[in-house]
Amino acid sequence: MAALMVGGTLRVGERLPSIRQTRLARGCSAATVFQAYYLLESRGLVRAAPRSGYFVAPPPVPPTISAPTRSQPPAEARPVEVSELVFQLLGSGGHEVHAPFGSAFPSPALFPLERLRCALVAGSRKMSPAQLTTDLPGGHEELRRQISLRYLRQGLSISPDEIVLTNGALEALNLSLQALTRPGDAVLVESPGFYAALQSIERLGLRAIEVPTDALEGADLDSLAALLQQHQHSPPKACWLMSSFQNPLGSLMPPDKKRALVAMLNAHGVPLIEDDVYAELHFAAQPALPAKAFEQDGLVLHCGSFSKCLAPGYRVGWVAAGRLAPTLQRLKLSSSLSGSWPAQAALAEYLQGGGFDHHLRGLRAALAQQRDAMLAAVARHFPAGTRMTRPQGGYFLWVELPEGCDSLALHAQALAEGISLAPGPMFSARREFGRCLRLNYGQPWAEGLERAVARLGALARTA
């Protein structure tokens, strides 16, 4: 019956069959029908009218879908101390989690695991002894070629020789940062921004200059221009940001802003480390061009990964480093030598088979449906005054709770009940965004997740 409502067969305001009619038609007990109707009512799909029956309910009015309240970070470069907080929050603390809203990955049920296993076997059979020894540092040639072909489909001409294969995108991002900076240097980062970027800055002894970031269109370019002007005598050595489906906001920078971003950074000689790991998870018909498409002088290092869209456990990422490719290759050689050759061979085999785009179409459709389900659930169950984003890709929802709420307290309470989330302070060099949280909608929607959102909403009223 829920499918009939979603599909429009049963329209808003129409009366559902009576309990008696449904019991006779379905051959079940009245108690079962009552339970089903109660479930539909709890989901907001129907409403009960005394002595009149059940009627199809109008869609819920969602909380405000707009940017969260933006803070204005201080303009000076500051040391970062966020790792300890991140480690504390990422650990489950011995709790069993049944609603992983704090996870960094989608559900494994969304990936073609059996086809990947077959590709792993086939790819391994084709490996020569040389590929397992002397060819290791360069990475799998065919996989680099396949990545180059995917760039070409977007109009970007990137040679396989410019691509450095890494252990996930995080190594690509870290190698890029190491290549461009020395301890004490300043780096531009988004606020809120990816906590791993903050951890990398902390680990390398760098300082962060935070750029206010909009939940719809990404980094605020006016603020960025002011920061670059203010620091012109001691300019930042790099800018690390996500231009598409940013983590945690889900923001998407429009093409004209990406072009302006690259031009602005180029004018100041600041390289851009573009973290684009969610690029394939767009909900629009066409992918979003990366900022690298507007590159002028080779100052954009574009980092991607198969971990978010195909094979999380294979840990295969890359950086299209252009003229810096030899530098990053040497850093890679001195730090981890090589990624897993069998994993690279498996992905090359899979991409050659031509099933990747078919898989991506299904994955995008599933994530879009799961986004809508979570938006509706948050609208039903969270307290009045809650604000949230409606991302056009990826699998993260950014939620701002009403004044007085504390996402760190909510995290602790929820985790004790098997519900994880990612509190806002872990996405800030200054532990801001205390009433914000990131929710992962990468799990296939089920009644258990609906109940978990309802419980989160109840806890939020007291957090």
Identify the structural domains of the chain with CATH numbers, from first to last. 2-56 (1.10.10.10), 64-108+358-460 (3.90.1150.10), 112-356 (3.40.640.10)
Within 13 Å of residue 222, how many CA atoms lie on the same side as its CB? 3
244 pairs with which residues across the strands?
Answer: 252
Q: What is the 3-state secondary structure (H, E, C) of 260-289?
A: HHHHHHHHCCCCEEEECCCCCCECCCCCCC
Smallest CA-to-CA distance from 283 within 180, 366, 383 is with 366
User: Alpha carbon 70 to chain centroid distance?
Assistant: 20
Q: Taking each helix axis as running N to C, give the angle between helix 168-180 and helix 325-335, from 0 to 180 degrees, rounded to the nearest 10.
A: 110
**How far is it, in rounded angstroms, from Cα 151 to Cα 320?**
10
Where do we find the tokens 């605020």? 220
Q: What is the pLDDT of residue 17?
A: 86
Contact 15, 53 (CB under 8 A): yes
Return the DSSP state at 15.
B
Which pLDDT tens digits describe the chain residue by residue (463 residues)?
A: 655 555 556 676 778 788 888 888 888 887 787 777 767 765 667 777 656 677 777 665 445 555 455 567 777 888 888 888 888 888 766 678 999 999 999 999 999 999 999 999 988 887 776 666 655 666 899 999 999 999 999 999 999 999 999 999 999 999 999 999 999 999 999 999 999 999 999 999 999 999 999 999 999 999 999 999 999 989 999 999 999 999 999 999 999 999 999 999 999 999 999 999 999 999 998 999 999 999 988 899 999 999 999 999 999 999 999 889 999 999 998 888 788 888 999 999 999 999 999 999 999 999 999 999 999 999 999 999 899 999 999 999 999 999 999 999 999 999 999 999 999 999 999 899 999 999 999 999 998 999 999 999 999 998 7
Cα distances from 404 to residues 248, 383, 427, 456, in angstroms, run 21, 12, 19, 16
pLDDT for the residue 146: 97
Distance CA 206, CA 284 (A): 37
Q: What is the pTM of this model?
A: 0.84
CA dist 259 → 243, 255, 265 (Å): 11, 6, 10
Instruction: Provide the pLDDT for residue 61.
Output: 47
For 454, the token pair is: 């309802």
List the one residue out of 240, 219, 235 whose CA is nearest residue 319.
240
Check residue 59 and give its pLDDT: 62
The pLDDT, as a whole number, for residue 76 is: 80
Q: From 181, 269, 286, select the one nearest 232 (Cα to Cα).
A: 269
